[in-house]
Structure 1
């Protein structure tokens, strides 16, 4: 490890980690980064080395991020893996809150209607045949699910679908899809059930109580009100 005035370069088995001081000026940082990386690249082999950049409490605009990436890429054997900052904009914070918020809605989703929320959905009501509910996170239905439910819409395979009465025409979690069971095999159940992706990468339906073991973090309802 080499310690410089504004930059710390640490070598790992996966490549380089650059810690950039967040109190100096951006221009001073760029100049020093150029010098130190030039020295570092001369002393290393020609194999490609991945670089992770940590900028602490410094906010970088998209233009500044691209400048740093280009500066690093100019060194023939360095490839930028990521730039990590502790700071986000108000817009990014609002989007993050939206994506993790539990949205409570009391209504019946009728045939032809589609309800889509970015985070978790808590629906107090039924989803009728032909109705569709979609959530970026989990779906909790305090009623009967007879239509389509799609949880983990943006690819979250840890998402679940829970309903007081689980009789869906189709269940989707992330990219996994399962059809409704045959009517002659369907049994009347009086307990709340949940659907999740199992270890075989398939959707399975089980008692709600299994979630405390399969998804222990779900009980914290992170992002909820």
Structure 2
């Protein structure tokens, strides 16, 4: 009977992908991983550092076990750990994901020097005055005038958007993209606009209606779904 393989190594254009079985014991997995990596490297010619991604499926790894796998990979010549991917999330990660998926509604004016930050989407009923800042892990919806700083997609979400009843910001940020305040000659008051990141990673300010095509998933907010 053919022995079950707990470790499968696949080469891609981006490096090596290690598929680690989630049914065997952890000790068996580590032993076979060490053997397979050593055998794989003996067949390769000397070359530059190779990125390695480990996929562990539904196996829960403790912090010490993740470090052990990383150390084992690093010990092999010319290998560097890129990521360890698991389908299992910790309670803390689950709580963070839940928080990031919620819409927080705040009714107030954000004055100069004040910072309002939420982990998920922000619905602000009020203005953001010059010198005020609003930050959200998701989208920012302002039912009022934005004259300060708005930073959406704070944790790296490029798909996040910023909307305002009156868009006159001193600065817009989405993920790691920044859009400075427009010139005074262009700063005419326009109603209900949105800002988003385009395919060139530039922040575009446009009429609110474009979001229907650009971000159709925003309609999932209707009815609280």
Shift of 1:23: 1.6
In the other structure, the counterpart of 1:87 is: 88
Identify the range of structure 1 (104-113 vs 84-93) with the bigger mean alpha-carbon deviation. 104-113
Distance 1:4 1:81, change over 3 A: farther
After superposition, residues 21-32 of structure 1 pair within 5 angstroms as 21-32=21-32
Matched, 1:123 2:154: no
Deviation, 1:202, is: 4.0
Q: Are 2:16 and 2:51, in contact at CA under 8 Å, matched by a contact in 1? A: yes
d(CA) in 2 for partners of 1:100, 1:8: 35
Shift of 1:14: 3.5
* 1:67 Cα deviation after fit: 0.9
| Change in CA separation of 1:36 and 1:220 when aligned onto 2, cut-off 3 Å | same
Deviating more after overlay: 171-180 vs 64-73: 171-180
Indicate the larger mover: 155-164 or 3-12: 3-12
1:45-84 equivalent positions in 2, closer than 5 A: 45-47=45-47, 48-84=49-85
- Please say if residues 177 and 201 of structure 2, whose CA atoms lie closer than 8 Å, have aligned partners that are also in contact: no
Deviation at 1:197, TM superposition (A): 3.5
Unpaired runs of 5+ in structure 1?
none
| TM-score calculated relative to the size of structure 1 | 0.83
1:192 counterpart SS class: strand
Cα deviations by residue, 1:96-144 (Å, 9 ceiling, x for unpaired): 2223322122222234322111222111222234432222222101122
Q: Residues of 2 paired with 1:147 and 1:14: CA distance?
A: 41
How far apart are 1:6 and its partner, in Å? 1.9
How far did 1:152 drift?
Answer: 2.8
Q: Secondary structure at the match of 2:113?
A: coil
Partner Cα distance (1:110, 1:52) in 2: 46
Counterpart of 1:16 in structure 2 is: 16
Contact 2:171 2:178 in 1 (8 A): no
Q: How big is the shift at 1:221?
A: 4.5
Report if the CA contact (8 A) 1:178-1:203 is conserved: no
TM-score, structure 2 as length reference: 0.83
Question: Offset of 1:185 from its aligned partner?
Answer: 5.1
Aligned residues, how many? 221
* Gap change, CA 1:103 and 1:68, over 3 Å in 2: same
Q: How has the CA–CA distance of structure 1 residues 168 and 63 changed in structure 2, closer, same or farther, with 3 Å as cutoff?
A: same
Q: CA deviation at 1:44?
A: 2.0
Report whether the alignment pairs 1:220 with 2:202.
no
CA–CA distance in 2 between the matches of 1:202 and 1:37?
42
